[in-house]
Amino acid sequence: MDHAKDFDRRLKRLLDISGTAPEELARRLDVAVPVVNRWLHGLTAPDVYQFQAIAQLFGIPYAWFLDGGDGFPSAEALAARLGLTERTVECLMKLADERDENESVLDAVDLALQAVIAVAGAVWEDLDRYADRAVRQAFGWKGAAE
């Protein structure tokens, strides 16, 4: 069995599902980005300490990387680790499996999330201004912020 190939496939899937970029993984493991890229291309595999660090980072049993089975941690376990609903993780896993076919869907989801974040930021700014104005009016304060 080729553990480096099994690891490469599994690491790619974990990064896809978690939304972790190779650069972020390299930073968190204190390794160079080319090292992570070699792992992702199946050219090398991490040492035992790096395996343990990656397993701990993603909340995956260490043996999962090496057991040779095709199993993947359950959606329930990943959901608990990532703080998402089980249904969300199942959908993310399906999108990750069909990445090439769903690239436009993933781009649309990314754009929608960016829009939601922008709207939420604008709403909070408006609420802050409203609260400031209400406090000034309640206490009869005047100021340039009106």
Give yes or no: residues 84 and 15 share one domain.
yes
Residues 17-55 have pLDDT tens digits of 788 899 999 999 999 999 999 999 888 888 878 888 888
Give yes or no: residues 65 and 89 share one domain.
yes
CA distance 95 to 124: 32
Nearest to 9 by CA among 52, 83, 66: 66
Task: Give the per-residue pLDDT at 91.
Answer: 77
Range of the domain at 17: 3-100
Give yes or no: residues 132 and 86 share one domain.
no
23-32, 98-107, 125-134: the lowest-pLDDT one: 98-107
Among the candidates 100, 116, 133, a domain finishes at: 100
- When divided into structural domains, the chain yields a total of 2
Give yes or no: residues 106 and 126 share one domain.
yes
